[in-house]
Structure 1
Amino acid sequence: MATLHVPQPSTGTAESRDTARRPGSRYSGFRPEVQGLRAAAVLLVVVYHVFLGRVSGGVDVFLLISAFFLTLSFVRKLEAGRPLDLGRYWLHVFKRLLPLAVLTILATLVLVELFYPSWDAGRWRTEALASVLYVENWALALSAVDYYAADHSTASPFQHFWSLSVQGQVFLLWPLAFAAARLLTRRGRLRPVPVLAAMFGTVFVVSLAWSVHATATQQEFAYFDTRTRLWEFALGSLLALAVPHLRPGRGLRVLLGWAGLLSMVSVGVLVDVQGAFPGWIALWPLLSAAAVVVAGQSGSRFGLDRLLASRPLVRLGDSAYALYLIHWPVLITYLVLRDRPVAGPRSGVAIVLVCLVLAVLVTRVVEDPLKRWSWPERSRLRLAGVIVVCLATVAVPVTAARVAEDRRALEIAASADRNNPGAAVLLPGFRDGGVPDAETIPVITGEPYAKPGLGTPCPPALGIGERYRQWCFDTVPDPEPAATMLVIGNSHVHQWIPAVQRLAERNDWRVVTYIRGNCLYGLPGEQVADHEACARWLEGTDPVVDAVDPDLVLVQGTRSTDENEEQFTPGMEQRIRGLAERGIQVVALRDNPRFDFVPARCAAEHGAGAPECTASHVILDPDSPLDPVAASPRVSMVDLGDLVCPDGTCTPVIGNVFTYWDNNHLTVEYVRTLAPMFVERVEAALRADGSPFPAGP
C-alpha cells in the first residue's frame, strides 16, 4: 500500500502540449482524487475494524489502487519505449516498503513481549518473520485449514500483513507481465495496451473463477490465497488501461463519484465480507471504487472529487500505508490489555485518534526522509544492502529467540521420563521420583503445536485412487503383519496415533490411516464444516477399505461438543454396522471431552489448580449412546475418559504433563504416557468380543 505518485498534469502551456504529444502521456498525471480515495479506503478499514469488528472491503480497494498506479507507471514506459529495468524497480519498491514495515513489526514484537500471554509469543514471532518475508497470507491460509493447529482465540497482531504480503507478491509478479508484453510487441509489432488488456483480462477471468470456486469450497483458505486475489489486481490494471479512453460528461461524473463512494462504504454493513470474500461479492467494493476513479475530476462544485482532492484527504492518503500498518497492532494490544473482544465507542475513538497521530508522525519522521534518501539509489548494490539490513533486523532476533526456546525444550524433554510421568501417576502404587517444581510439558513456546506423524504416503500399488490418496498413509509398515488395522476419522483419532503405534508394535500389526481433519465418519449431511471436501473424503472411505482389506478398523465412535453433549449420529452407526457386517472387527473410541476454554492456557495464566481451569463433561457418564451398537458382534467400544479426566474431573495437568493443548485435542506427550493403558484396554475389549486379534498375551 505504498503511495506511488505520477507526474503532474498538463497546464496547457506549449511545453505541456509537447509533453501531451509524447507517447504514454495519456497514462500520466497525478490523480489527487485517487489519493483521496486511498485515504477513504484506509479510514473505512480502520473504522470497521475498531467499531464493528468486521471486514469492510477497503483492503480490496487498496489492492485495486495499487495495481492501478503500478500499471500506469509501466504503461508509460512501454508506450515511450523506455527500459523497464525490472531489477531496479523491485529493489526500489521494497527499499520503500520495508523500513516502515520493519519498524511496525519490531514495535509489535516489543508489545508482544511486554503485554501478550507467553502462550502465544512464539507464534507471533513466527508470524513476524512471515510478515517481513511477505508470506504472512500463506502462513494464515495454512493455519486456517490445519485442524490440528493451535487455538486461535486471540487475533494475531500481525494478521493485517496478509494483504501486504499479497501485494508484495504481486509487485514481484506484475512486472513480469509487462516484460512479456514488451517481448510480444517487439516480435509481433503489436501495441502494448491491447496486449496488456488481453493478458490482464485472462488473469481476471481465470482468477475470479478460481476465487468463486475456492470461496464456496474452502473459504478460510481462499480468503488469504494469492491466487484468489489476482483478479482484484487485474481489475485495477484493466481500469488503468481503460480510464484514458473513458470520457463521461460532468453530470455522469458527479453521479458516478457519489454513487461509488456510498456503495463502497455500505458493503461492509450489508454483507458478511469476511465470510463471503473474496468470491464474486468482492466485485461490489471494487466496482464501487472503479466508479470513483472513472468519475475522476468532474469540474463541478458538487463532484466527489472536491472532497477527495481536498488537502486533508490527500495528505491522509500519503499516510495511508502507515495508518494501515499501525492501526491493527494498536487495536489488538488494547483488546489484550483490557481483556475485551471489541473496543467500546469511547475507547474506539481514542484508538482511531492515536493511530492517526502516529501514522502522520511516522510518515513525516521516517517514511518521507527515507523516500528522499538518495544514497541507496546510486547503485543496485546499495538498494539490495538496505533490503538485506531490513530483513535481518527482524530475522536475526526472531531466529535467535526460536533457537533458545528449542534448546530449552530439548533440555526439559531429556528429563521427562523422571519429571513428567503423565498418566502413569494414575496407576496403583505409583511412586514419584521427579524433581520438585520441574517444568510441565509440553513446553509452551507459542509455536504451532506438532501433530503426531502419520508415516509415509500410501504407495500407488495399494490401489487407492489418486482422488483420495492425499489422506492415506502407511503409518506402521509391516511386510508380513499378523493383522492389518485401518484407522479412519479426523483429528480425534489422529491424536491417538502414538498409542496406536505402540499397540501395533506389540501385536505385529500393520497400520494404515485415512484421516482428514474436521470430517466425521458418517454421512455428508452430518458434517460440521468443510462439507464439500468432507464429502469427497467420505467417498474414499469404502474404496480405501476395499484396497487395504483390513482385519480391524479403528474409528471415532462418538463426538463430544463444547456444549456438554455426546453425539452418535445415524451415519456413524450406519458406518460402524456396515464394517461389522463385512466381517471386519471395529474398535470404536469414545470421544474425549471438549471445552469452551483452553485448559493449558488457563493453567499458564491462573495455575494448574485454579477452579476455573477444571471442568466435567457428560461424555464421562457411564452410559453412552454407542452402547447398543457396541453390544453387537465384531464391535468393541473403548472408553478412556477416566484416564483423561480421573474421577470425572478434567484437570489441565496430570503427572506434570498438560492433558490438552487446545480445547479439544490431547497432547502428544500425554497420549504417550497413557499408551500402555490404551493398549491394555483395546486388547481387553477385543478379547471380550471374541475377536481373534490380538493373538498375543
Structure 2
Amino acid sequence: MAVVESSRVVAPRSGVIAADRGFRPEVQGLRALAVLMVVTYHVWFGRVSGGVDVFLLISAFLLALSFLRKVESGKPLDLARHWLHQFKRLLPAVVVVILATLGATYLLVPQSRWQDIIEQAWASLFYAQNWILASNAVDYYADDHSLASPLQHFWSLSVQGQVFILWPLLFLASALLARRFQLKFRGVVLLVFGALFMGSLSFSVWETSTNQAYAYFDTRARLWEFAVGTLLALALPFIRLPRFLKVVAGWVGLAAMLSGGFLLDVQGQFPGYVALWPLLAAALVIIAGQTASPFGVDRFLSSKPLVRVGDLSYALYLWHWPVLVLALIWQDRASPGLVGGLIVIAVSLVLAYLTMRFVERPMRALAWADRRRRRAVIVLAVCVALVAAPLTGWQRGLQIEAEQIASQVDRNNPGASIFEVGYVDQADTDAPLIPAVSSASRDYANILTPCIDRFSTDAPSLQGLGCSVIVDQEDPVRTIVAVGNSHVQQWLAAMKPLAEQNNWALVALIKGGCQYVGYVEQVSEDCNERNAQATDYILDIDPDLVFTTGTYSIPEPPYELLAGGFTQGAMALMAQGVPMVAIRDNPRFDRNMMECVEEHGESAEECNVPEDEIRDMSEVSPIEQLAAATPGLATMDLNEYICSGGTCPSVIGNVRVYLDDNHLTATYAQTLSPYFYEQLIAATEW
C-alpha cells in the first residue's frame, strides 16, 4: 500500500495540543500487521482480511496530518509540487513490479490471458485498475487464485492514487473557504470531510446491497473510509484517555482488527457499513497511541521487527500477489499449501526489501528531482515510458498476428459451416485457429449499448448494461427480447447478424448467473427482483418474441437440469400473448476447453470429450421434457452442431468452440447463425 508520510503527528497551532508528538512507531507497526493480514489471508485463507481498509485509513490519517500542518503553519500548499513529489515516490516501485510481472506473464501465463493482463497493466500504471475490475465484475474472493490476474491487487493502489489527487483539492477548498468567510480552518475541514463521510457511506451501503461486486472496487464507495482517517486526525488532539483505557482500547482494537476477516462476511457485505469494523479497530489502536505502559499494545507494535516490516509494507503489498498468482500458474495449482505459502511469502519479502533498498529509498532521496518541477516530470515520464514501450510493442505484435489470421478466415476457418451438405474443406493444413489465442478469452457477444429512447427503462436492476440494445432498426419488422444469464448472451453473436439481415430489433436483458425464471425462494433475492423487473419490462414493450435458455447444464450427473420456476415465468409472459422460445443449454466441462487446446493441442483426447461423459443420452432430452410441461412454449436445440459423432470437441472447423469451460466463443456462435435461423423460423412459424 502507498505510504504517504512518515508516522508522525505534529502539534497544530492555535493552542490545540496534539495527543502525541514525533515519530509514532506503533502506527508503523499497525501498517505492518495490516500488510501481513492481507498477505496471509490471500496466501492461505482465500479471504479478504480487512487489512486493505486499515491501509486506507492510515493513508488518509497521515495525509490529513501533513496538510493540516502545512495550512496551520502558513506554508503554501503548492499542489502541483505535492503531486509530483508523491507520485515520484510511488511510481518507480510500481514500474518495477509491472515490468517483472509482464516478463513472467510472457514465460508462464497462457496466451489466452495476455490481453487481460496487458489491459490491467495499462490501468495499473495510470491508477485506474479498480474501474477495470469493477466493470468486469471480478470475483476478488475466488478460491482459485491461479485464475486471477497477477496485477489484480493494484485496484486498491488505484483507489489511493485517485484519493491522493482529490484530498489535496479538498484541503485547498477548505482553506480558501475558511479564509473567504473568516472561519476556523479545522471547522471547515470537519464540515467538508464529515459531509463526504456521510454521503459516501450512504452510497456505499446502497451500492453494496444492490451490486456488491461493483461496489468493492468503486472509489465512490470507498471515499468514506479515507474520510474516517481524516476525521480521526482532526479529533485525535482532543481525545484524552486515562492510561488504563488506552491500554484496553489498544488491545481491543488490535483483536478486532485481526479477527474481522474471519468473523465478518467480507465476501458478501464489504465495503458497506460492515467495513466500519476494521476501520474503528485501527482507529482504537491509533487513539491508544503511546501508553508508556509495559502492557500497552504499542509496546508490541513498536517492536523493531514490526516497524521494519512496516517500512517494507508498500513494496510487500506490490509483490505478494503477482508472486502468489504466478507461482500457482507455474505449478498448476489452485492454492500453495503451507510450505508453498511460506516460500511465496519469503520470496515476496526478499523482493520487497530489494525494491525498498534499491528503488524506493534512492527515489525518495533524489533531491535533484525535487528542486525543479520539470525534473520530477521527467522522472515520471521515464517511469511511464519504461512500461508503455514494451506494452505498446506487445499489443501491436498481437494485433498484427490477429490481422494476418483474419485475412484468411473465410477459407481457413469455416466453423460450423463444415456441417453443411456438400461442404468441401479448402483450409490450409497449418491454418491457425480463430479467435487468436491472445484474444479468445474475450471473444464474447457485446452488450455495451444501454437501452435508450423507446427501449429505455427506469427499473433499477435493468439500469446500465442490465438492458442493452444489440440491434436497433428505424421501423423493425419484429422486436425480440433476449433475457437471461450469460448463456443467453453468448447466443447474441448468432442472433445479431440475423436481426441485421431481417430488419429485427434485438434487445438483451442479461445478468450473469441469473436464469430467467419465475419467483423461486432458492434463487438470490437480487435475481428474483431482476427477473420480476424484466417481466414488467417485457410486458411493457410487448415484443414479438422472447428468447431465453430453457435448461441448465452442469459438469456432473445428471448433467442437465430443468430450472425451478421456469414454467411459471414462461406462462406469465405467454398468458399475456408474448411468444417465447427456449433453447437447450450447451454442455459444461470440468476443464477449460480453450486452455486445454493451448496446453495439449486440439487433437488431444483431453480436449475432445465423449458426449456420454457430459450428457444424459436417454431418448427424451430435457428440452423436450420442458416443452411437454409448458404448453405453447417453442424450443430449440443446436447441440448437434456443438457435439457431433459422439464427441464434444474444443475446436470445430478451425474455430475454438469454447472460451472457457462452458461459454461458446462469439466467433463459433456466429458460424451457427444459419442453423439458429432455421430452427428459430421453425419454432416461431414466421
TM-score for both structures, normalised by structure 1: 0.90
Q: Is the 8 A contact 1:620 1:648 kept in 2?
A: no
Q: Is the 8 A contact 2:535 2:573 kept in 1?
A: no
Q: Is the 8 A contact 2:146 2:325 kept in 1?
A: no
Matched, 1:672 2:670: yes
| Structure 1, 201-210 or 94-103: larger mean CA deviation | 201-210
RMSD value, Cα: 2.7
Q: Is the 8 A contact 2:588 2:661 kept in 1?
A: yes
| Structure 1, 119-128 or 21-30: larger mean CA deviation | 21-30
In 2: Cα distance, 1:400 partner to 1:272 partner: 43
SS in 1 for 2:483: strand
In 1: Cα distance, 2:282 partner to 2:654 partner: 57
In 2: Cα distance, 1:526 partner to 1:311 partner: 55
Q: Deviations over 1:330-351 (max 9, x none)?
A: 1222212222222222222232
The AA in structure 1 aligned to 2:76 is P
Q: Is the 8 A contact 1:122 1:447 kept in 2?
A: no
Distance change (3 Å), C-alpha of 1:57 and 1:542: closer
Sequence identity (%): 49
User: 1:627 is matched with which residue?
Assistant: 624
Distance change (3 Å), C-alpha of 1:225 and 1:562: farther
Q: Is the 8 A contact 1:106 1:394 kept in 2?
A: yes
Q: Aligned runs of 1:140-155 on 2, under 5 Å?
A: 140-144=133-137, 154-155=147-148
647, 653, 656: which is aligned to 1:655?
653
In 2: Cα distance, 1:656 partner to 1:199 partner: 60
In 1: Cα distance, 2:536 partner to 2:36 partner: 53
After TM superposition, give the deviation of residue 426 of structure 1 in Å.
2.2
Q: Deviations over 1:19-56 (max 9, x none)?
A: 98677873863212111211122122222222323221
SS in 1 for 2:481: strand
After TM superposition, give the deviation of residue 100 of structure 1 in Å.
0.7
Q: Deviations over 1:76-117 (max 9, x none)?
A: 112222211111111110010000111111111111112222
Q: Deviations over 1:204-253 (max 9, x none)?
A: 22222222222222221111111121111111111111111112122222
User: 1:500 is matched with which residue?
Assistant: 495
681, 684, 689: which is aligned to 2:682?
684
563, 568, 582: which is aligned to 2:562?
568
Q: Is the 8 A contact 2:494 2:676 kept in 1?
A: yes
Matched, 1:229 2:244: no
575, 581, 592: which is aligned to 2:586?
592
Q: Is the 8 A contact 2:291 2:298 kept in 1?
A: yes
In 2: Cα distance, 1:544 partner to 1:484 partner: 11
In 2: Cα distance, 1:463 partner to 1:53 partner: 40
Matched, 1:72 2:65: yes
In 2: Cα distance, 1:511 partner to 1:202 partner: 44
Q: Is the 8 A contact 1:419 1:438 kept in 2?
A: yes
The AA in structure 2 aligned to 1:682 is L
Distance change (3 Å), C-alpha of 1:390 and 1:252: same
Consecutive unaligned residues in structure 1, runs of 5 or more: 11-18
Q: Deviations over 1:311-368 (max 9, x none)?
A: 3322322221111111111122221222222222222223222322332232122211
In 2: Cα distance, 1:235 partner to 1:462 partner: 42
Q: Aligned runs of 1:126-165 on 2, under 5 Å?
A: 126-144=119-137, 154-165=147-158
After TM superposition, give the deviation of residue 373 of structure 1 in Å.
0.7
Q: Aligned runs of 1:507-518 on 2, under 5 Å?
A: 507-518=502-513
TM-score for both structures, normalised by structure 2: 0.91
Distance change (3 Å), C-alpha of 1:25 and 1:437: farther
Q: Is the 8 A contact 2:35 2:313 kept in 1?
A: yes
Matched, 1:374 2:367: yes
After TM superposition, give the deviation of residue 300 of structure 1 in Å.
1.5
The AA in structure 2 aligned to 1:500 is M
Distance change (3 Å), C-alpha of 1:380 and 1:595: same
Q: Is the 8 A contact 1:520 1:526 kept in 2?
A: no
| Structure 1, 360-369 or 573-582: larger mean CA deviation | 573-582
User: 1:611 is matched with which residue?
Assistant: 605
After TM superposition, give the deviation of residue 184 of structure 1 in Å.
1.5
| Structure 1, 300-309 or 24-33: larger mean CA deviation | 24-33
Q: Is the 8 A contact 2:479 2:504 kept in 1?
A: yes
| Structure 1, 112-121 or 623-632: larger mean CA deviation | 623-632
In 2: Cα distance, 1:142 partner to 1:189 partner: 44
User: 1:16 is matched with which residue?
Assistant: none
Q: Aligned runs of 1:406-485 on 2, under 5 Å?
A: 406-446=399-439, 449-453=442-446, 457-461=450-454, 464-465=457-458, 468=462, 470=464, 471-485=466-480
The AA in structure 2 aligned to 1:645 is C
| Structure 1, 620-629 or 262-271: larger mean CA deviation | 620-629
SS in 2 for 1:540: helix
The AA in structure 1 aligned to 2:294 is R
User: 2:3 is matched with which residue?
Assistant: 3
After TM superposition, give the deviation of residue 437 of structure 1 in Å.
1.6
In 2: Cα distance, 1:433 partner to 1:198 partner: 73
Consecutive unaligned residues in structure 2, runs of 5 or more: none
SS in 1 for 2:662: coil
In 2: Cα distance, 1:38 partner to 1:465 partner: 44
Larger Rg: 1
49, 53, 61: which is aligned to 2:54?
61
The AA in structure 1 aligned to 2:400 is R
In 2: Cα distance, 1:455 partner to 1:202 partner: 34
When the two structures are aligned, how many residues end up with a matched partner? 674
In 1: Cα distance, 2:458 partner to 2:225 partner: 36
